[in-house]
Amino acid sequence: MNSITTQIFTDDTADLKGAAGVLSLGGLVAFPTETVYGLGVDARNSDAVARLYQAKGRPSFNPLIVHVASLEIAETLVEFDDTARALAQAFWPGALTLVLPLRPDAGISPLVTAGLETLAVRVPDHPVANGLMVAFDGPIAAPSANPSGQVSATKCAHVQSQLSGRIDGIVDGGDCGVGLESTIVATLPVPTLLRAGGLPAEALEGALGERLALAGDSAAPSSPGQLASHYAPKGTVRLNAVDVEDGETLLGFGAVDAAVNLSPSGDLVEAAATLFDALHQLNALGADRIAVSPIPDHGLGRAINDRLRRAAAPRSGAAT
């Protein structure tokens, strides 16, 4: 696509109104959430959504998450069962995406749902995202703000380095606090974890009083973030490395001597928040072969390991 001028917006009210105006005209605007930066478009505008797929190089069979300002607005787009409403009331705003039946009169572009009869929707917990949604006064479809298959952005600089000249604007709202994409859950026919993320599954299971079912692998994603190859740095990735081979660069966790360390103290919250920035740092170092220290597979560690497994998978036209 032809290069365009990418405008940088601040997080003040006037600039948020300006960014909302770009969205209203069918433009592409990146903005921060508590999880990662999203690349937003008007979810009702098929031409804008098509431009988003083009800018990201994202397969059109991979559905998008729609961001809204409140549960009440979400209820105009999707049909809530009792379980979904209870989860929304407990964890919204926050890093939870619910995949629910799409209302026939929702007005959402079919490109957003990739032809499915469900919609992925969430209410983010970030003042800049909320300010943009209020100024725009409509649903914003927003996958992560990075080229398809590459590392998600948790800083404005990440978005600038990867998408400048391909999108219309970026709202600079500082660093993202959670640093991992949202957890995705479908509640029908039974509560099912579709993607581990910034809200630990254990918290959801505690609220439900039951274990979440796990989604099976499928060639056709039923929600965002299910493609096998995803979040990939430029170098190859070897997981659960207890030693470092010649030519490898270590992405560490805990008290290890590493070029980049997710958390020297072994804190999973810190590791989640720094994961994508660490992968960007490894790209900047020119790391061709990356070894990753073992990371505990509980709490946020489940989501971190999910992203790392996808980063290590064979490259195959991934998307975020």
- Rounded to 5 degrees, φ, ψ at 14 are -65, -40
Mean pLDDT of all residues in 243-267: 96
Per the CB < 8 A criterion, the answer to whether 50 and 206 are in contact is: no
Percent of the chain beyond pLDDT 90?
A: 75
pLDDT number for residue 229: 54
pLDDT number for residue 320: 39
pLDDT number for residue 319: 37
Quickly name the fold that domain 7-214 has: DHBP synthase (3.90.870)
If you average pLDDT over every residue of the chain, what do you get? 91
Mean pLDDT of all residues in 112-139: 95
Per the CB < 8 A criterion, the answer to whether 8 and 169 are in contact is: yes
- Rounded to 5 degrees, φ, ψ at 288 are -85, -30
Of 6-10, 13-17, 25-29, 190-194, the poorest mean pLDDT is in 190-194
pLDDT number for residue 3: 80
How far is 43 from 309, CA to CA, in rounded Å? Answer: 30
At 53-82, the pLDDT tens digits run: 889 887 666 789 999 999 999 999 999 999
At 184-219, the pLDDT tens digits run: 999 999 999 999 999 999 999 999 999 999 886 444
Mean pLDDT of all residues in 101-122: 92
pLDDT number for residue 273: 84
Mean pLDDT of all residues in 166-194: 95
How far is 179 from 300, CA to CA, in rounded Å? Answer: 11
pLDDT number for residue 5: 95
Bridge partners for 7 per DSSP: 169
Q: Please state at what angle helix 201-208 crosses helix 82-91, rounded to 10 degrees.
A: 130
Q: Above 70 in pLDDT, residue 258?
A: yes
Q: Report the 3 state secondary structure along the chain.
A: CCCCCCEEECCCHHHHHHHHHHHHCCCCEEEECCCCEEEEEECCCHHHHHHHHHHHCCCCCCCCEEECCCHHHHCCCECCCHHHHHHHHHHCCCCEEEEEEECCCCCCCHHHHCCCCEEEEECCCCHHHHHHHHHHCCCEECCECCCCCCCCCCCHHHHHHHHCCCCCEEECCCCCCCCCCCEEEECCCCCEEEECCCCCHHHHHHHHCCCCEECCCCCCCCCCCCCCCCCCCCCEEECCCCCCCCCCEEEECCCCCCCEECCCCCCHHHHHHHHHHHHHHHHHHCCCEEEECCCCCCCHHHHHHHHHHHHHCCCCCCCC
pLDDT number for residue 203: 97
Q: Above 90 in pLDDT, residue 252?
A: yes
pTM score > 0.75 for this model?
yes
pLDDT band at residue 276 using 50, 70 and 90 as cut-offs? confident
| Residues carrying CATH 3.90.870.10, the chain | 7-214
- 96 vs 268, more confident: 96
- 223 vs 291, more confident: 291
Mean pLDDT of all residues in 28-55: 94
pLDDT number for residue 220: 45
pLDDT number for residue 83: 97
Q: Above 70 in pLDDT, residue 16?
A: yes
pLDDT band at residue 233 using 50, 70 and 90 as cut-offs? confident
Q: Per the structure block, which two tokens stand in for 308?
A: 């790392």
- Residue 104: cis peptide before it, omega within 30 degrees of 0: no
pLDDT number for residue 114: 81
